[in-house]
């Protein structure tokens, strides 16, 4: 009699309707009830509605934070146990389980892949990766993650925005190729150390495809030619040269997609030459305004401070009264 009411006896169309009305956690619980149900769910791949996710790599620990548009955020922690095995916990250690014969890295990546398998609608709003570990662990974690994901059907990961926290170049060089450059719009790099060399990173396809860029902690060796395709930039650069300022000015004058660049710096050779090149700045505020060829509505505003420069495309009618348009 019980088989009469088994879920597996329902027509496929009814089963799919049931799955459409369950959240991701409920579906995963259902997967674990029997092999037949797991196979059916894996074949159907009901939409998880996961809109973004975050992976945090710490010392012998991985945290996975998926976000859904139909459920509150989750936190799953995978912690290497002192005497072997793995602790898995959710909701800030409220629910914890010890698995004596399991590797925390394998468990975390297998569960992560399960989430990805059910995110079959396409594009994530945001992906974040945090590598708050030693250089060697960051290198190992990021290589392992790339090796696993690059061999799956989820590769490349499609996201509009990608953010990474790092302490060396290795995580960036290993992880960024996982992201589909054709879908990417925003890039954020947040360094835990100052002065990282970005010459390799600025040559990557994902860098070349994004339209918005944010970088913290004063990186080095970013060629000006690798910046001018961005619409918006907010970045910390170790050095801003006069040559860079002049190149950016010319690029703004000929490229209508360039809207606002805010660049903080530690060192610059430009200040003593600006008045000589552009004349006295407006009311000692270190701002100059440049007319755009064949554009009567907009001008380029350039500001120079003790530790920053700003280029912005603005309406001509908001230029301060008395300011010269060069």
pLDDT tens-place string over residues 174-214:
999 999 999 999 999 999 888 899 999 999 999 999 999 99
Query: Long-range contacts for 202-206 (Cβ within 8 Å, ≥24 apart)?
Result: 202/226, 204/173, 204/176, 204/177, 205/177, 205/181, 206/162, 206/176, 206/177, 206/179, 206/181
Total length of the chain = 326
Of residues 153 and 238, the one with the higher pLDDT is 238
Query: Long-range contacts for 79-83 (Cβ within 8 Å, ≥24 apart)?
Result: 79/104, 80/104
What is the predicted pLDDT for the residue at 126? Answer: 95
Q: What is the mean pLDDT of the segment spanning 147-156?
A: 84
Examine the pLDDT at 224 and tell me if it is beyond 90. Answer: yes
Query: What residue spans define the domains of the chain?
Result: 1-44
Examine the pLDDT at 296 and tell me if it is beyond 50. Answer: yes
pLDDT > 70 fraction of the chain, expressed in percent and rounded: 82
Q: What is the mean pLDDT of the segment spanning 296-321?
A: 95
Of residues 96 and 253, the one with the higher pLDDT is 253
Q: Which of 78, 110, 116, 72 is nearest to 96 (CA)?
A: 78
What is the predicted pLDDT for the residue at 242? Answer: 96
What is the predicted pLDDT for the residue at 153? Answer: 77
What is the predicted pLDDT for the residue at 2? Answer: 44
Whether residue 263 contacts residue 233, with contact meaning beta carbons closer than 8 Å, is answered with yes
Examine the pLDDT at 3 and tell me if it is beyond 70. Answer: no
Of residues 32 and 170, the one with the higher pLDDT is 170
Strands (E), the chain: 50-58, 61-68, 76-80, 86-90, 95-99, 124-131, 159-166, 186-191, 212-219, 232-240, 260-268, 287-292, 295-304, 308-315
What is the predicted pLDDT for the residue at 73? Answer: 73
Residues 6+ positions from 193 with CB-CB distance below 8 Å: 167, 168, 217
Examine the pLDDT at 1 and tell me if it is beyond 50. Answer: no
What is the predicted pLDDT for the residue at 175? Answer: 94
Examine the pLDDT at 98 and tell me if it is beyond 90. Answer: no
Confidence of residue 9 (pLDDT cuts 50, 70, 90): low
Examine the pLDDT at 75 and tell me if it is beyond 80. Answer: yes
DSSP-assigned letter for residue 178 = G
Examine the pLDDT at 118 and tell me if it is beyond 50. Answer: yes
Residue 307 in tokens: 């530790």
Examine the pLDDT at 45 and tell me if it is beyond 70. Answer: no
Confidence of residue 230 (pLDDT cuts 50, 70, 90): very high
SS3 99: strand
What is the predicted pLDDT for the residue at 99? Answer: 85
Residue 201 in tokens: 């990173």
Q: What is the mean pLDDT of the segment spanning 277-285?
A: 73
Whether residue 281 contacts residue 324, with contact meaning beta carbons closer than 8 Å, is answered with no
Nearest-angstrom CA–CA distance, 102 and 124 = 30
* Residue 89 to residues 13, 99, 113, 134, 175, Cα–Cα distance (Å): 35, 11, 18, 24, 26
Examine the pLDDT at 14 and tell me if it is beyond 80. Answer: no
Q: What is the mean pLDDT of the segment spanning 211-235?
A: 97
DSSP-assigned letter for residue 179 = B
Residue 190 in tokens: 């947040």
DSSP-assigned letter for residue 197 = B
| Start-to-end Cα distance in the chain | 88
pLDDT > 90 fraction of the chain, expressed in percent and rounded: 46
């Amino acid at each position: 009699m019980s088989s009469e009411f088994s879920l597996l006896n329902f027509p496929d169309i009814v089963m799919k309707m049931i799955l459409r009305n369950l959240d991701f956690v409920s579906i995963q619980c259902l997967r674990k009830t029997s092999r037949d149900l797991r196979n059916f769910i894996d074949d159907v791949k009901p939409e998880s509605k996961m809109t973004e996710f975050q992976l945090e790599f710490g010392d012998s620990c991985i945290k996975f934070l998926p976000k859904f548009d139909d459920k509150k955020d989750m936190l799953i922690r995978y912690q290497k146990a002192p005497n072997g095995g793995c602790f898995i916990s959710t909701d800030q250690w409220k629910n914890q389980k010890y698995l004596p014969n399991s590797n925390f890295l394998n468990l975390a990546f297998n569960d992560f892949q399960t989430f990805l398998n059910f995110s079959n609608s396409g594009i994530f709003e945001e992906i974040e990766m945090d590598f708050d570990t030693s250089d060697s662990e960051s290198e190992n974690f990021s290589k392992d993650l790339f090796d696993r994901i690059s061999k799956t059907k989820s590769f490349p990961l499609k996201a509009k925005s990608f953010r990474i926290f790092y302490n060396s170049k290795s995580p960036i060089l290993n992880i960024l190729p996982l992201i589909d450059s054709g879908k990417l719009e925003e890039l954020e790099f947040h360094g835990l150390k100052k002065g990282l060399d970005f010459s390799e990173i600025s040559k990557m396809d994902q860098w070349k495809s994004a339209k918005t860029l944010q970088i913290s902690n004063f990186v080095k060796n970013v060629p000006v030619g690798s910046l001018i395709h961005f619409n918006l930039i907010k970045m910390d650069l170790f050095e801003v040269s006069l040559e860079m300022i002049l190149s950016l000015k010319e690029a703004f004058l000929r490229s209508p997609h360039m809207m606002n660049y805010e660049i903080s710096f530690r060192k610059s050779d430009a200040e003593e030459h600006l008045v000589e090149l552009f004349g006295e700045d407006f009311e000692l505020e270190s701002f100059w305004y440049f007319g755009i060829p064949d554009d009567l509505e907009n001008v380029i505003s350039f500001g120079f401070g003790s530790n920053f420069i700003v280029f912005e495309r603005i309406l001509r009618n908001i230029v301060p009264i008395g300011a010269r348009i060069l």
